[in-house]
DNA sequence: AATTAGCACTCTCAGCTCGAGAGTGCTAAT
DNA sequence: ATTAGCACTCTCGAGCTGAGAGTGCTAATT
């Protein structure tokens, strides 16, 4: 594989830059004019031809300007993009917003999605932190009416699961409370497996409750990702590449199919560390529907313990520098918030 | 105001029907052919002219067919539409889906949104049931680490609010538990106002906790509507009237602005009973962005106690019969589920 | 008085041409 | 290796055209 020369790298950067601004193919003349280059348009044309042969650029049609290919963007992002921190002012604004919000996880996640969407002018997605190891933390049983019981189950990590169920008999609140107390005493930090092994001496009601607890823990275990927060879907519609509704539809449909989303967010992430920002350009993300799009994703939370995913979806022509910095910054912010409020 | 003749009413129905199928202006010839009418196209043209003068129809341009106006749709929905029940098979499928799902509120709401979206081929929205009168039901305090405490507060109606906060000192779980027990004993069914009046003899920690409880209740009280579930946004994109992205953008942007949504769902509903289905056609819904759209909304839940809103958003050209029946059916289904699982 | 056949007229839509503009690739000169 | 010069190519929007759909009007019919 041939290497790009220094000059070609510069040109690639400029082409990417110009294209992200104008959304139109970039011509050799334009490039000279726009950036006052010390070389002639003819030279640029030669270089462009070379880069096209190497696969970094492509022409939408003969005698149009050049547009970066997937490979071109990939090279740009991996090798040419120096990632500036977000401007201090921006960072402060964002941080400020987080401290102004209700100090609650769901508010933070909603806000994170909103911040991502606004600062990157793209669709954003944030999943609630979720722990792979599901363990019992605390149980509460509340009698509602007749034989109906509301169970509130807190898992290690802070996930809260609730379930309403009926018993065969009416059980007074006192009995429920003492049952809860007993289970709380014995099951502290137990995983599902440990719970199975535990030899508890329970009566009928106790066993039903234990069954419900296990169900809920199983459910939580099976869950790949936590609750999903999205924002800025309309930003995508505003992009010129999606002026055709067909395109927009195929891109946004990803957001409406939960299992695809699960796949996308989990599979593409095998072995990624918290704090790494992953950029999926066009077809890299095996999803045909996203051929035109790029994804910028990052994990946040506490490695191997309690993690969520966040990121943005936009057209391949995306201000990667800005977008990546924003994703990284918000991911770190959420990681800090999760760490501060961790429930162990 | 002149009245429509019987024949004009029939024609209006047919025009609406034909237009919802084809999405194109309906011509007099087409109408005769399609429905084997016993009158000639010329007569229909005369009638059409009359109806256009009365404001029920309009021509997109000279010598095109007619399209129902907002007023036309309004008359059709109010006077001409006989609303069939959903076919038994459909109803069974839907019911079946609900009983197959995890028996949990959030799953039901998600499912409701999905069912609405699929059966009406439109965007759907469902808000979690929320009670105007906020009252204390049950409290739980869980020590997480150091002086951090996780509070889980169950409100009458079943809403669960959680909050993590820090105390000035490390308080053992036993102390927290007994504090919770005490508050549970005294605050049962208290509203915020009653809570203020209650003369509890609490220590520092107790007062902090009480403060947090009040905060959460205040927050819940201020909440106009509950959590929002949406689905089928892409269905809207698929409609031909939204082939132009601009249009689609303005319609969908409603879904992304929480305060507009709050307004829309609450304001348009003053004094509506559970079970009534409300149809907002085009500009009727004071929102300029929705000029092209219709909304079909219904409350569900338990009147004056615990209510949510659900509905669909589609183009004005909508299969109203089908859509209204679906909304009504799902609303009733959710009402039943809420009633069965009410936490009093 | 209501209905209808007949017909001229209007407007859209898809397809076509055409010229301007932007951009290229090649060649020959520097 | 670079560049000026130039012929060539392709898109895009404007303007034109004919077919098709649909109307409104008038005069005849029931």
CB contact under 8 A, B237 and A231: no
Which chain A residues are Cβ-neighbours of B342 within 8 angstroms?
144-145
In angstroms, rounded to a whole number, what is the distance separating the alpha carbons of residues B344 and B342? Answer: 6
**Could you give the count of Cα atoms lying within 13 Å of A217 in the half-sphere of its Cβ?**
27
- Beta-bridged to residue A294, according to DSSP, are A281, A314
Q: Which of B185, B180, B137, B177 is nearest to B161 (CA)?
A: B137
- Taking the CA atoms of residue B324, residue B325, residue B326 and residue B327 in that order, the dihedral angle to the nearest 10 degrees is 50
- Beta-bridged to residue A127, according to DSSP, are A228
Q: B2 pLDDT band (50/70/90 cuts)?
A: low
Q: B146 pLDDT band (50/70/90 cuts)?
A: confident
Q: How far apart are the CA of B101 and the nearest CA of chain A, in angstroms?
A: 12
CA distances from B280 to A117, A279, B55, B257, B318 (A): 30, 43, 18, 19, 12
pLDDT digits (tens, 9 = 90+) for B186-227: 999 999 999 999 888 889 999 999 999 999 999 999 988 889
Q: Give the DSSP H or E segment for B126.
A: strand B123-127
- Number of Cβ within a 10 Å radius of residue A160: 17
Q: Please tell me whether any atom of strand C lies within 7 Å of the Cβ of A19.
A: no
Q: How far apart are the CA of B256 and the nearest CA of chain A, in angstroms?
A: 7
Q: Please tell me whether any atom of strand D lies within 7 Å of the Cβ of B45.
A: yes
- The pLDDT assigned to A244 comes to 83
For B329, the token pair is: 């059916």
| A247 pLDDT higher than 80 | yes
CB contact under 8 A, A154 and B154: no
Q: A150 pLDDT band (50/70/90 cuts)?
A: very high
Q: How far apart are the CA of B237 and the nearest CA of chain A, in angstroms?
A: 6
Å between CA of A251 and C1' of D10: 29
- A324 in Cβ contact with A242 (< 8 Å): no
Which chain A residues are Cβ-neighbours of B154 within 8 angstroms?
142, 150, 152
**Three-state secondary structure call for residue B82:** coil
Q: A256 — alpha (psi -120 to 50), left (phi > 0) or beta?
A: alpha
Q: Please tell me whether any atom of strand D lies within 7 Å of the Cβ of A39.
A: yes
Q: Which of B163, B161, B154 is nearest to B135 (CA)?
A: B154
Which chain A residues are Cβ-neighbours of B138 within 8 angstroms?
140, 142
CB contact under 8 A, A152 and B152: yes
Which of A106, A109, A156, A164 would you mutate first to test chain B, the one with the most B CBs within 10 A? Answer: A164
Pinpoint the alpha helices (H) of chain B.
Answer: 6-22, 28-35, 41-54, 70-75, 88-100, 105-120, 173-187, 192-197, 204-222, 233-238, 245-253, 258-267, 320-340
pLDDT digits (tens, 9 = 90+) for A274-300: 989 999 999 787 888 899 999 999 999
CB contact under 8 A, B231 and A256: yes
In angstroms, rounded to a whole number, what is the distance separating the alpha carbons of residues B221 and B178? Answer: 27
CA distances from A92 to A97, A319, B154 (A): 8, 21, 36
CB contact under 8 A, A148 and B341: yes
| A59 pLDDT higher than 90 | yes
Q: How many CB pairs under 8 A join A and B?
A: 106
- B163 in Cβ contact with B141 (< 8 Å): no
Average pLDDT over residues A100-120: 96
Most confident of A144-148, A196-200, B207-211: B207-211
Q: Please tell me whether any atom of strand D lies within 7 Å of the Cβ of A5.
A: no
CB contact under 8 A, B245 and A245: yes
Q: Which of B163, B144, B136 is nearest to B152 (CA)?
A: B163
**Three-state secondary structure call for residue A87:** coil
Q: Which of B224, B234, B229, B179 is nearest to B204 (CA)?
A: B179
Average pLDDT over residues B55-68: 94
pLDDT digits (tens, 9 = 90+) for B246-290: 888 989 999 999 889 988 888 777 678 898 999 999 978 788 889
Q: Who's near A61: CB < 8 A, 6+ residues apart?
A: none
In angstroms, rounded to a whole number, what is the distance separating the alpha carbons of residues B162 and B164? Answer: 7
Q: Name the residues in B56-85 having a C-beta closer than 7 Å to nucleic acid strand D.
A: 59, 62-66
Q: What is the DSSP string of A19-79?
A: HHHH-SPBPHHHHHHHHT-SS-HHHHHHHHHHHHHHTSEE-SSTTS-BEE-HHHHHHIIII
Q: Please tell me whether any atom of strand C lies within 7 Å of the Cβ of A48.
A: yes
For B169, the token pair is: 């000192």
Which of B211, B237, B344 would you mutate first to test chain A, the one with the most A CBs within 10 A? Answer: B237
In angstroms, rounded to a whole number, what is the distance separating the alpha carbons of residues A325 and B203? Answer: 47
CA distances from A183 to A195, B99, B177, B277 (A): 10, 29, 14, 46
- The pLDDT assigned to A172 comes to 94
Q: Please tell me whether any atom of strand D lies within 7 Å of the Cβ of B27.
A: yes
In angstroms, rounded to a whole number, what is the distance separating the alpha carbons of residues B47 and B30? Answer: 15
Å between CA of A24 and C1' of D11: 13
DSSP state of B225: S
For B186, the token pair is: 């005294």
- The pLDDT assigned to A138 comes to 96
- Beta-bridged to residue B67, according to DSSP, are B58
| B183 pLDDT higher than 90 | yes
Q: A2 pLDDT band (50/70/90 cuts)?
A: low
Average pLDDT over residues A87-95: 97
Which chain A residues are Cβ-neighbours of B152 within 8 angstroms?
140, 152, 154, 160
pLDDT digits (tens, 9 = 90+) for B92-138: 999 999 999 999 999 999 999 999 999 999 999 999 999 988 999 99
Q: How far apart are the CA of B29 and the nearest CA of chain A, in angstroms?
A: 32
For A3, the token pair is: 């290497």
- Beta-bridged to residue B112, according to DSSP, are none
List the single protein residue with the shortest CA to C1' distance from D21: B64
Lowest-confidence pick of A153-162, A278-287, A327-336, B130-139: A278-287
| B308 pLDDT higher than 90 | yes
pLDDT digits (tens, 9 = 90+) for A176-197: 999 999 999 999 999 999 999 9
- The pLDDT assigned to A246 comes to 84
Q: A173 pLDDT band (50/70/90 cuts)?
A: very high
Q: Which nucleotide lies closest to A28 by the C1' atom and the CA atom?
A: C23
Q: A1 pLDDT band (50/70/90 cuts)?
A: low
- The pLDDT assigned to A201 comes to 87
- A297 in Cβ contact with A309 (< 8 Å): yes
Which chain A residues are Cβ-neighbours of B102 within 8 angstroms?
219
Say what the pTM is.
0.94
CB contact under 8 A, A144 and B343: yes
The sheet with strand A148-155 has its strands ordered as A136-145, A148-155, A160-166
| B1 pLDDT higher than 60 | no
Of A152, A238, A342, the CB nearest to B249: A238
Check residues B259 and A232 and name the one with the higher pLDDT: A232
Average pLDDT over residues B314-321: 95
Query: Nucleotides of chain D within 7 Å of a protein C-beta?
Result: 2-5, 8-11, 21-26
């Amino acid at each position: 594989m041939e290497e790009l020369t220094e000059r070609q790298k510069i040109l690639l950067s400029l082409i990417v830059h110009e294209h992200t601004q104008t959304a139109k193919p970039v011509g050799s003349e334009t490039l000279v004019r726009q950036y006052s280059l010390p070389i002639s348009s003819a030279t640029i044309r030669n270089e462009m031809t070379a880069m096209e042969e190497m696969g970094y650029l492509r022409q939408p049609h003969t005698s149009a300007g050049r547009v970066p290919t997937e490979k071109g963007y990939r090279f740009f992002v991996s090798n040419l993009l120096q990632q500036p921190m977000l401007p201090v002012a921006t960072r402060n604004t964002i941080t400020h917003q987080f401290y102004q919000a209700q100090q609650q996880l769901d508010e933070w996640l909603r806000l994170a999605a909103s911040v991502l969407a606004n600062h990157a002018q793209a669709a954003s997605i944030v999943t609630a932190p979720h722990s792979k190891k599901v363990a019992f933390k605390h149980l509460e049983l509340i009698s509602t009416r007749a034989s109906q019981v509301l169970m509130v189950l807190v898992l290690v990590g802070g996930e809260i699961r609730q379930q309403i169920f009926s018993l065969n008999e009416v059980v007074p609140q006192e009995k429920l409370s003492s049952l809860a107390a007993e289970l709380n005493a014995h099951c502290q930090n137990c995983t599902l497996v440990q719970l199975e092994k535990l030899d508890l001496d329970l009566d009928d009601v106790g066993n039903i409750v234990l069954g419900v607890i296990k169900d809920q823990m199983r459910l939580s275990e099976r869950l790949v990702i936590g609750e999903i927060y999205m924002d800025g879907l309309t930003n995508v519609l505003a992009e010129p590449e999606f002026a055709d509704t067909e395109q927009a539809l195929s891109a946004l449909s990803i957001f409406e199919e939960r299992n695809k989303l699960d796949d996308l967010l989990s599979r593409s992430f095998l072995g990624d560390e918290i704090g790494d920002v992953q950029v999926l350009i066009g077809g890299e993300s095996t999803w045909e529907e996203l051929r035109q799009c790029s994804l910028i994703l990052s994990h946040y939370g506490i490695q191997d313990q309690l993690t969520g995913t966040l990121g943005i979806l936009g057209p391949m022509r995306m201000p990667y520098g800005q977008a990546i910095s924003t994703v990284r910054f918000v991911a770190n912010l959420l990681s800090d918030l999760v760490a501060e409020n961790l429930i162990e």
